[in-house]
Amino acid sequence: MTETIVTPTIPLTNFTNFNLHSALQETLIKNGFETPTLVQQRAIPAILTRKDFLVSSKTGSGKTLAFLLPTLHHLLINPNYYAGVRALVLVPTRELAQQIFLQCQQLLEGTSLKVGLVTGGEDFKKQQNLLRKNTPIVIATTGRVLELLTLDTAPFENLETLILDEADRMLDMGFSDDVLTIAKQCSENRQTLLFSATLTHIGVLKMADKLLKHYELIALNTLRDELPHIQQQIVLADDNAHKQQLLAWLLKNETFEKALVFSNSRIQATALCDPLRASGVRATVLHGDMDQKERQRVMKLFRDGVVNVLVATDLAARGLDIKGIQIVINFEVPRNGINYLHRIGRTGRSDETGVTITLVKHTEWNLMAGIERFLRQNFIRRTVKELAGKYQGPKKLKASGKTVGGKLKVEKKKEKAEKVKVRHRDQKNIGKRRAPSSDFKPE
């Protein structure tokens, strides 16, 4: 394994500089893409060399085109109609697979190249046929691919490109075994590409050794980069009831086209959405326990702006690119800094700006301080005068920004008392295989 940081070369400031297949150039122009983003400038020519790469660049910087364009170019200029699947893009959620599938379809307009979508919740037979019928590029989630691989076909034996988008997530515990199993079924001569905004931590690099050969690293960001286009605020809250009031107030008083509200659990997400709706907010909910049709319906409602508030679990934290999200609210502090970065990265995409607001109660102070420290960020303390609470933050702080003194027993008791009410309709899945508390299971 060799590893080098690819340094800037002469900027390629127009898509025409890449000499991509004419059909791709035409669709780029048709869809208004003129100037490649930085990651596209660096990654497209590199990937065209057919070597393996790890590419890291901040959320919303155009990574999808950076891997799709050179991959589609390669397929178009080297036609082979009987090679089975030639390029496979693996992603963590069905929603992201669908988004990339549509983007790929748009790029391939005017060509005879077909793209397939392989995810759970959709027709199994149709997807089985799709793999058998030599679909050159497939966008997929791992769960369904594994199911299809138990059949007698070997759809990836001629695979030329394997791409993991949100690669650190795909190589995390829970996902990595599935990815490695799939990779074993792929041709050894393939090119492998890993993309994410949070790629360069040690765990990922270790896993990368199992998947890539002599790769190079194109690292255009670090976890600690300032994000001037995203204003990061925190609002202190006394308890969950206070948080709910703050949430309703913010959604009524802030100016935004669309808002995305994150909750750490499926039950909490549903519990938050109902009162919002009852108070006239055009809100809906998305989490992994919903059936596929409902998930698709909800995504369409939000993308189309029929509803302008989506309350979601971390299912929506990775990769989704939805026009108009100007505010991200964390109802609870996310579990870690990486998670936080991806959640807030749903706003401030491309050249836009965004605001994020994290609601923090006293039991979450240390977690929040840990995230600030990890990311070397100082979140803006904001108070909502109309709903001022009692909690003003810890009286004494350690140098780390954390509370002096451990978690108090009283706080723990209070936490317990605050647990959200579990409604009957949320209990109907009890007894089935238990889903993880967050939406972080492989799909």
438 binds ligand ADP (CB under 6 A): no
Rg of the chain's alpha carbons, rounded to an integer? 22
63 binds ligand ADP (CB under 6 A): yes
442 binds ligand ADP (CB under 6 A): no
13 binds ligand ADP (CB under 6 A): no
Q: Which DSSP state fits 115?
A: E
DSSP letter for each residue of 273-337: HHHHHHTT--EEEE-TTS-HHHHHHHHHHHHTTSS-EEEE-GGGTSS---TTEEEEEESS--SSH
d(CA 290, CA 204): 30
d(CA 71, CA 65): 10
Taking residues 29 to 58 in sequence order and writing x for each that binds ligand ADP by CB under 6 A, - otherwise, the string is ----x-xxx--x----------------x-
| Region of 60-68, 86-94, 115-123, 144-152 interacting with Mg ion (CB under 5 A) | 60-68
CB 287 within 8 A of CB 269: yes
Burial call 18-34: b when 16+ CB within 10 Å, e when fewer = bebbebbbebbeeeebe
Taking residues 230 to 269 in sequence order and writing x for each that binds ligand ADP by CB under 6 A, - otherwise, the string is ----------------------------------------
| Region of 145-153, 289-297, 312-320, 405-413 interacting with Mg ion (CB under 5 A) | 312-320
Taking residues 374 to 413 in sequence order and writing x for each that binds ligand ADP by CB under 6 A, - otherwise, the string is ----------------------------------------
Residue among 59, 191, 231, 377 that touches ligand ADP (CB under 6 A): 59
60 binds Mg ion (CB under 5 A): no
Site for ligand ADP in 283-342 (CB under 6 A): 321
92 binds ligand ADP (CB under 6 A): no
33 interacts with, out of Mg ion, ligand ADP, none, CB within 5 to 8 A per kind: ligand ADP
CB 246 within 8 A of CB 384: yes
Find tokens 């490695």 and name the residue. Answer: 180
64 binds ligand ADP (CB under 6 A): yes
348 binds Mg ion (CB under 5 A): no
348 binds ligand ADP (CB under 6 A): no
> How many secondary structure helices (H) and strands (E) does the chain include?
16, 14
Taking residues 156 to 195 in sequence order and writing x for each that binds ligand ADP by CB under 6 A, - otherwise, the string is ----------------------------------------
Residue among 70, 84, 136, 319 that touches Mg ion (CB under 5 A): 319
Residue type, 348: G
CB-CB neighbours of 174 under 10 Å = 13
198 interacts with, out of Mg ion, ligand ADP, none, CB within 5 to 8 A per kind: none
Q: Both tokens of residue 204?
A: 């990922």
Q: How far is the CB of 105 from ligand ADP (least distance, A)?
A: 14
Helix axes 63-77, 38-48, angle to 10 degrees: 30
Helix axes 94-107, 63-77, angle to 10 degrees: 50
Would you tell me which residues interact with Mg ion (CB under 5 A)? 63, 319
Would you tell me which residues interact with ligand ADP (CB under 6 A)? 33, 35-37, 40, 57, 59-65, 321, 349-350
